[in-house]
Amino acid sequence: MPKRILALTAVLTLAAAGCGMLPTKEAAPPPATTAPASSDPATSAPPATATASDQDTRPALAETRSTMTENLKVEVVGLNRVKGKHLIAQIRLSNTGTEKHLSWAGEMGDRTRPLGAFKWASGIGVLDAQARTWILPYKPAGSPCLCSDLDRDGLGRFIDPGQSITVYAVLPAPAGNPATTTVVTPVGPPMLNVPISDEAPSGDFPDPEAEPVTPVTRRLILPSESLDKSEETADDGKDLHVNLSSDVLFAVDKATLTPNAKSILARTAKLIDASPATVVTVAGHADSSGNDAINEPLSLRRAQAVQRALSAMLSGDGIRFQAKGYGSRRPLYSNDSDEGKRRNRRVSVTFPKPQPAAQEPVATTSPGTPGLTGTTKADGQPIAMEITGLRRLPGGLGLLTYKITNEGAAETWFNDLHIAQDWEAYKYQAATNVRVTDVAARRQYLPGRLEVPTDDGVDFYCACTDVSGVRISTEKFAPGQTREFWNLFALPDTADTLKVTIGPFRDLQVPIQ
């Protein structure tokens, strides 16, 4: 059987290590390959240009464009479920330009790893929307991932003008054997409803069952808050975490509920009634001010007061409560600002989330709605914005996509997408200055965030477009240049139109597609 050049070296390397290969079918035309580049970027010679006969000509199942790198097109050309529990993703990367070589290895690396540790195609993944999980390639011991390796697979670090390469990743399949999934990469908007084949993939790929590997997943948390700031809710796919403002529930240094507390607690009680909860945890928290010798017992008394009130409001029996007080030991936000401290003064109520209503599958493509545009200026240059879609995904998720264009005659920087609230803490600057509001329900939805445990605690990465960190100069727009951005949000089940606010642009009423 003819072998794909991409996989041939991988076969030899993994065979030497005792690793098996997944079952495959006859290979499609091979992807372009390049000569390995020098490990020193300053002395690397341009890679050899692949011939037209080397190009992977399979039809694309889905495609997106890189926000960060002009002329980089990303296409899914294979998505195969193997043994019912693994997924082989094959991505064709094309340089659509005519002048510059494009680097791909850093672009496709997993941005949620420590700086310097994300490599190769480790950022290719899928979004399991129902489970609120971002699934990335398996990680073997001593290797970044079961994925294309520029050294091992001979791909080189660059894609020549007009040429393409095909890279792969081996990862866990989303639960439930869905017919389609959302494919994610670090470079552009997620690709929705990509069909999954249960046929063997074209080519040879390492078998994750042949050696010890670690699944790499990131929990997706979707926050929302009431417009009066009395409570905020974080949905992680398993539990709801309802954070009630202590400033609204209690007087200063007191643990007796205020007259306004009953109406605020009523929404939480209704959510508990709708959930399969048998145990509800109520935890009191304080900011970093004052003495924890005082804050810890006060936070416990406040948790107990909320527990008693909620218990009296529930319509059924059989719910067991656990009340705890943590003082200032578990801040949710930075204590470096007044708003961060206010949000940390809270009583958190945690319980299994209510089951979502059944939803129709989202369309693979959705037409844009005319008129969803806005304008502003940056350094005197006109900047245009166009919303290209607000699409409902399974599991109560929504994907917002929008374009930013420099309509001026000079190069300019546009920084307003990441000028967010100072209490929000993300690992890198990203397009966080975006809000979606259900005006009728008086509820605002914030960008989703990926939670990554670290030795020191937890890092949060925005589930949206990066605009800094390893993405250098993303905020710099050439004259006439357009970039497409994206954000993931929770969406209310019943709304069909929501108000969308993107940076300094005017508010827009956007239909959900």
> Each residue of 278-315: pLDDT tens digit?
999 999 999 998 888 999 999 999 999 999 999 999 98
Structural domain includes residue 45: no
Q: Are residues 170 and 192 in the same domain?
A: yes
Clarify whether residues 158 and 15 are in a common domain: yes
Instruction: Tell me the pLDDT band of 508, cut-offs 50, 70 and 90.
Output: very high
Please state the separation of Cα 380 from the chain's center in Å. 33
Give CA angle at 382 (377, 388), nearest 5°: 100
- Residue 423's pLDDT is 54
Contact 187, 68 (CB under 8 A): yes
More confident residue, 431 or 25: 431
Can you point out the beta strands (E) in 370-496? 373-378, 381-392, 397-406, 412-413, 434-438, 443-445, 449-454, 457-462, 476-477, 482-490
Question: How far is residue 85 from each of residues 64, 172, 183, 207, measured CA to CA in Å?
Answer: 26, 6, 16, 12
Contacts of 382 (CB under 8 A, 6+ apart): 375, 376, 406, 407, 408
Q: Are 331 and 344 in contact (CB under 8 A)?
A: yes
Same domain as 468, residue 392: yes
- Of 102, 33, 67, 110, the C-alpha closest to 417 is 67
Whether the predicted pLDDT of 317 surpasses 70:
yes
Question: Residue 156 has what pLDDT?
Answer: 82
**Does residue 28 lie in a domain region?**
yes
In a domain? residue 48: no
Taking residues 239-268, what's their average pLDDT? 94
Q: Tell me whether residue 73 is in a domain.
A: yes
Same structural domain, 400 and 498: yes
CATH number assigned to the domain comprising residue 332: 3.30.1330.60
Residue 27 lies inside a defined structural domain of this protein: yes
What gap in Å lies between CA 236 and CA 445, rounded to an integer?
14
**Tokens 């990367």 appear where?**
93
160 and 203 in a single domain? The answer is: yes
Angle separating helix axes 261-274 and 292-313, nearest 10 degrees: 60
Cβ atoms of residues 168 and 90 within 8 Å: yes
Domain co-membership, 196 together with 275:
no
Domain C-terminal end among 323, 352, 381: 352
Same domain, residue pair 145 and 72: yes
Instruction: Give me the CATH number covering residue 418.
Output: 2.60.40
**Domain of 236, in residue numbers:** 221-352
Of 322, 352, 382, which residue sits at a domain end? Answer: 352
Same domain, 343 and 423: no
Q: Are residues 465 and 489 in the same domain?
A: yes
Look at residue 357 and tell me if it is in a domain: no
Quote the number of domains for the chain: 3
Neighbours of 327 (CB within 10 A): 21
pLDDT band for position 422 (50/70/90)? low
Secondary element (H or E) of residue 306: helix 292-313
Residue 62 pLDDT > 90, yes or no?
yes
Residue 237 is predicted with a pLDDT of 82
Residue 47 lies in a domain: no
Instruction: Identify the domain boundary among 154, 188, 211.
Output: 211
Q: How confident is the model at residue 427 (pLDDT cuts 50, 70, 90)?
A: low
Query: Rounded mean pLDDT of 395-413?
Result: 95
Please check whether residue 126 is in contact with residue 171, taking contact to mean a CB–CB distance below 8 angstroms.
Answer: yes
Cα separation of 217 and 28, whole Å? 30
* Residue count of the chain: 513
Residue 6 has pLDDT above 80, yes or no: no
- What whole-number percentage of the chain has pLDDT above 70? 82
pLDDT digits (tens, 9 = 90+) for 434-468: 999 999 999 999 999 998 888 877 788 899 998 76
CA dist., res. 145 & res. 138, Å (int):
6
Instruction: Give the model's pLDDT for residue 308.
Output: 96
The token duo for 188 is 């552009």
- Domain shared by 243 and 267, yes or no: yes
Mean pLDDT for 44-68 is: 69
* Residue 381 identity (one-letter amino acid): Q
The average pLDDT across 55-78 equals 93
Q: Does 363 fall in a domain?
A: no
Contact between residue 467 and residue 430 where contact means Cβ atoms under 8 Å apart: yes
Which residues, in sequence order, are CB contacts of 78 under 8 Å at separation 6+? Answer: 28, 58, 61, 88, 89, 90, 168, 197, 201, 202
Q: What pLDDT is stored for residue 496 in this prediction?
A: 94
Q: Are residues 263 and 381 in the same domain?
A: no
The pTM of this model reads 0.84
Check whether residue 14 and residue 143 sit in a common domain: yes
